[in-house]
């Protein structure tokens, strides 16, 4: 049903899935740059299409609203919400004989700005397993948010500007929505604000949120991209308390590694337990893991699942594992 060509391809439809190199026909699960390229023709949800065109300019896309099957190249293709960011989608491909679900980046838990994930059953599951390590179990969201809001309030009470670092697409909007819902107005970096405008146009209310006017305002929180991605720092940010909002904050050294005052463990990826929950809900005959630690395959096998890495082992291409027999 699929083969591996430095990425997942649905064979019958000759459809590349989340390729980072240009393709004649590609499915784009969501608009993070590590999942897309300037394709000749892209299939994606309408929201992902809007974000894709924000990034690359107007390009040929085919809208795939959630839950509306599309007959394409001999396959029936249906998108389902992935819970990762606005428009993020899983792809269910059916050929009349068997079905394959590709999750893309996903999260099962609550999000302030992404559609809640829906997991249909499938014969074959290709699962994105970023946090496929038992070290990564995200703490309960309510407690994390309580701590985050009190630290933000403490910074403001101390006459300092809280500066929250979050990814430009997804986390930036979610953290903004969480803050404004709690009564903290937000000023955004221009790159985050441009994406927020698409969110708003697609019907996501971000509350009291504005473009950073060149200086901080009393009582406001400033949301910026992570410093490693920051081309230029916003002007006039002096007395600040910095926050990183990332799933990796579950790891105790994250705060030091990122050089921030506080690391807040809010993730837009499934944690270890959610990965297992996803597998149980899809109930596949065979599982291929991607974008995560190889050890997750062993964890799945230890739990009785028929699991393999999607990517063939680089140094042992001659060894005939079941995944290679299927793929080559």
In the complex, least distance from residue 30 CB atom to Zn ion, rounded to whole angstroms: 6
Q: Which is nearer to Zn ion, 94 or 105 (CB)?
A: 105
List Cβ neighbours of 138 (8 Å cut-off, separation of 6 or more): 109, 131, 144, 247, 250, 265, 266, 267, 271
In the complex, least distance from residue 328 CB atom to Zn ion, rounded to whole angstroms: 28
List Cβ neighbours of 110 (8 Å cut-off, separation of 6 or more): 116, 141
Q: Which of residues 90-129 bind Zn ion (CB under 5 A)?
A: 105
Q: Is 32 in the site for Zn ion (CB under 5 A)?
A: yes
List the 186-188 sheet strands across, edge first.
Answer: 209-211, 186-188, 221-224, 161-165, 240-245, 262-264
Part in contact with Zn ion (CB under 5 A); list of ranges 27-35, 124-132, 227-235, 280-288: 27-35
Strands (DSSP E) contained in 82-215 are 89-94, 99-102, 124-128, 161-165, 186-188, 209-211
8-state DSSP, 35: G
Give 157: exposed, middle or buried? Use CB within 10 Å, 0-12, 13-18, 19+.
exposed
In the complex, least distance from residue 117 CB atom to Zn ion, rounded to whole angstroms: 13
How many of the other CB atoms lie within 10 Å of CB of 74?
12
Part in contact with Zn ion (CB under 5 A); list of ranges 30-38, 171-179, 205-213, 243-251: 30-38
Among 303, 213, 13, which Cα is nearest to 295's?
303
Instruction: Calculate the dihedral angle through the C-alpha atoms of 130, 233, 165, 51, rounding to the nearest 10 degrees.
Output: -60
In the complex, least distance from residue 218 CB atom to Zn ion, rounded to whole angstroms: 35
Part in contact with Zn ion (CB under 5 A); list of ranges 13-21, 26-34, 115-123, 292-300: 26-34
| Number of residues near Zn ion (by CB under 5 A) | 2
In the complex, least distance from residue 292 CB atom to Zn ion, rounded to whole angstroms: 13
Q: Is 174 in the site for Zn ion (CB under 5 A)?
A: no
In the complex, least distance from residue 40 CB atom to Zn ion, rounded to whole angstroms: 23
In the complex, least distance from residue 46 CB atom to Zn ion, rounded to whole angstroms: 18
Q: Which is nearer to Zn ion, 32 or 262 (CB)?
A: 32
Q: Which is nearer to Zn ion, 105 or 115 (CB)?
A: 105
Q: For residues 243 and 308, what is the distance between their CA atoms, to the nearest angstrom? A: 37
Part in contact with Zn ion (CB under 5 A); list of ranges 5-13, 31-39, 74-82, 273-281: 31-39
Locate 271 and state its tokens. Answer: 């944690």
Part in contact with Zn ion (CB under 5 A); list of ranges 6-14, 24-32, 207-215, 244-252: 24-32
Point out which residues bind Zn ion (CB under 5 A). Answer: 32, 105
């Amino acid at each position: 049903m699929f083969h591996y060509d430095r990425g997942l391809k649905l064979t019958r439809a000759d459809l590349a899935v989340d390729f980072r190199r240009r393709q004649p026909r590609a499915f784009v699960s969501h608009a993070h740059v590590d999942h897309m390229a300037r394709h000749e023709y892209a299939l994606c949800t309408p929201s992902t299409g809007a974000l894709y065109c924000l990034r690359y300019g107007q390009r040929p896309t085919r809208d795939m609203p959630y839950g509306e099957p599309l007959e394409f190249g001999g396959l029936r293709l249906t998108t389902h919400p992935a819970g990762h960011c606005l428009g993020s989608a899983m792809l269910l491909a059916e050929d009349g004989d068997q079905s394959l679900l590709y999750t893309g980046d996903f999260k099962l838990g609550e999000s302030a700005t992404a559609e809640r994930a829906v997991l249909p059953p499938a014969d074959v599951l290709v699962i994105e397993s970023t946090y496929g390590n038992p070290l990564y179990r995200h703490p309960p969201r309510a407690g994390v948010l309580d701590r985050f809001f009190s630290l933000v309030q403490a910074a403001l009470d101390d006459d300092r500007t809280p500066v929250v670092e979050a990814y430009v697409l997804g986390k930036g909007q979610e953290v903004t929505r969480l803050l404004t819902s709690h009564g903290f107005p937000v000023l955004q970096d221009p790159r985050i604000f441009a994406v927020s405008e698409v969110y708003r146009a697609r019907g996501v209310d971000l509350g009291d949120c504005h473009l950073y006017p060149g200086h901080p305002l009393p009582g406001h929180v400033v949301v910026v991209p992570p410093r490693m991605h920051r081309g230029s720092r916003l002007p006039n940010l002096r007395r600040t308390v910095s926050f990183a909002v990332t799933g990796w904050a579950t790891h105790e050294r994250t705060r030091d590694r990122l050089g921030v005052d506080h690391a807040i463990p809010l993730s837009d990826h499934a944690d270890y337990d959610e990965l297992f929950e996803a597998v149980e809900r899809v109930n596949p005959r065979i599982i291929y893991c991607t974008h995560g630690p190889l050890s997750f395959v062993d964890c799945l096998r230890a739990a009785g699942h028929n699991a393999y890495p999607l990517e063939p082992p680089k140094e042992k291409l001659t060894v005939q594992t079941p995944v290679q027999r299927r793929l080559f």
